[in-house]
Amino acid sequence: MSETIQSVKGMNDVLPDEAAAWEFFEETVRAWLRRYGYRQIRMPILERTDLFVRSIGEVTDIVEKEMFTFTDRLNGDDLTLRPEGTASCARAAIQHSLLYAGPQRLWYSGPMFRHERPQKGRYRQFHQFGVEALGLTGPDIDAELIIMGARLWRDLGLANIELEVNTLGDAEARARYRARLIHYLETHQDGLDEDARRRMHTNPLRVLDSKNPQMQALIEAAPRMLDDLDEPSLKHFEDVQRLLRNAGVEYRINTRLVRGLDYYNRTVFEWVTTELGAQGTVCAGGRYDGLVAQIGGKPAPAAGFAMGVERLIALLPGGSREVPPLAPDVYVVWSGEAAEPHAWRVAEQLRDAGMDVTMHAGGGSFKSQMKRADGSGAPFAVIIGDDEAAAGEVTLKPMRDQREQVRVRAEDVPALVKG
Ligand code: HAM
């Protein structure tokens, strides 16, 4: 026997027992997106590498070491499996001039790819739902994006998800802060780990994100962005907070929240839970007013967020396995030469009437077929032998209670099953 082939490390199958939770999640999210007037956009999974280098930033974990990048052997193009959706969404909006028609409220979903060390809640292929509002500049849209999140957690029945917010100010404020932070880090070099020393001059804000316990005191005492903020950004941040308070959304200001992608300015936020161990961020985003221009579009403000589907499904009440699996309305059991064509016709007739019908496949005795009918979870079996076929009828057998089976015409089945 030849060796079995396994999936690529960190890339998971979603098995049928788990798929019910995914469907529940996706349906809930789609309904919620409609309620806020967001429209779907679908982008390719593969993009030119340059798109991500220019948008996410050269000195970020994602671009430095996590991208699945390869050369197309047929034409030499430098391509990357998307590590996130914001860059592709902005690229698509520019390419198709979507913003000429006015601001756009968009969403997308699908797999993203990052070559990280896999662990619970962290995978190399994972899934996001992303929401992007393009062409809107005010604090109202930042607040809307956050308030939406709060509703989704309620819709999904999730508690214990907390909101952290921060502001990164405008480009000049960040440059001022950056200089002050570099100075501080330089004077405290002895306390920095290797990673921090390497990043100190290229991406000093990311040093604040370090999880190294030995550096926490040093990070705690570092200068704060808030003190360098420009007036308009400060006002913007206060307005966002006012709208959150007005909506009754609780938040905590975390001045060390800087995010792992370089395109952000002003508002940034993360929804975090303590229930998933180290991978506690279930949803994150912020404003990125410079990105559209940075990748060649006419300057346009923008803000958005993305949520990690695997992490949120792991949080579903009682664990994902408690979402009931989808069962058919009826399972069709049949045996006999005359029964066969009748059973096929009846199955299609019931589907015409809007029923979910699983047709037994693979033959076998009535007894073994009834076992399969039971295992399918269907509340009724439709049984067809040559007798039923001759009479143009079916036997309808309740599977989940003690009621007697009845002989009826196929067209009466829907009313009896739904009744
Ligand atoms: P991000 O923080 O890199 O932001 O990812 C968003 C969410 O995706 C995370 O909070 C997490 O739930 C999930 N996630 C990220 N990496 C993994 C992984 N390796 N395994 C499982 N889940 C993961 C972005 O991607 C931005 N594009 C968000 C955004 C949209 N900002 C503005 N618009």
| Averaged confidence pLDDT in the chain | 94
Average of per-residue pLDDT across 365-382: 96
CA of 84 to the centre of ligand 1 (A): 7
**pLDDT level of residue 407 (50, 70, 90 thresholds):** very high
Average of per-residue pLDDT across 204-232: 89
Atom of ligand 1 nearest to the CA of 283: 10
Q: Name the residue with the closest Cα to ligand 1, atom 20.
A: 122
Whole-number pLDDT of residue 141: 98
CA of 335 to the centre of ligand 1 (A): 53
Phi-psi region of 389 (alpha: psi -120 to 50; beta: other; left: phi over 0): alpha
User: Angle at Cα 129 formed by Cα 123 and Cα 130, nearest 5°?
Assistant: 115
Tokens representing 188 are 């405290």
The helix/strand/coil state of 123 is coil
HSE-up of 326 (CA within 13 Å, CB side)?
13
* Separation CA 220–CA 81 (nearest Å): 36
pLDDT for 323 beyond 70: no
The helix/strand/coil state of 121 is coil
pLDDT for 27 beyond 60: yes
Atom of ligand 1 nearest to the CA of 124: 19
pLDDT for 232 beyond 60: yes
Helices vs strands, H then E, count in the chain:
16, 16
Q: How many CB atoms sit inside 10 A of residue 202's CB? A: 12
Cβ-based burial of 392 (10 A; exposed 0-12, middle 13-18, buried ≥19): exposed
User: For the segment 187-213, what is each residue's pLDDT rounded down to a tens digit?
Assistant: 999 999 998 998 899 889 889 888 889
Tokens representing 402 are 């003690």
Instruction: Enumerate residues 6+ apart whose C-beta is below 8 A from 168.
Output: 174, 205, 225, 233, 258, 264, 265, 266, 268, 286
* Separation CA 167–CA 285 (nearest Å): 12
CA of 281 to the centre of ligand 1 (A): 8
Answer for the pair 203, 57: CB distance below 8 angstroms, yes or no. yes
Percentage of the chain exceeding pLDDT 90 = 84
Structural element, H or E, at residue 16: helix 16-35
User: For the segment 143-155, what is each residue's pLDDT rounded down to a tens digit?
Assistant: 999 999 999 999 9
Q: Name the residue with the closest Cα to ligand 1, atom 22.
A: 308
In this structure, the residues whose C-beta lies within 6 A of any atom of ligand 1 are 84-86, 114, 116, 121-123, 126, 128, 130, 132, 260-261, 281-286, 288, 304-308, 310-311
CA of 349 to the centre of ligand 1 (A): 46
Residues in the chain: 419
Percentage of the chain exceeding pLDDT 70 = 98
pLDDT for 339 beyond 90: yes
The helix/strand/coil state of 165 is strand
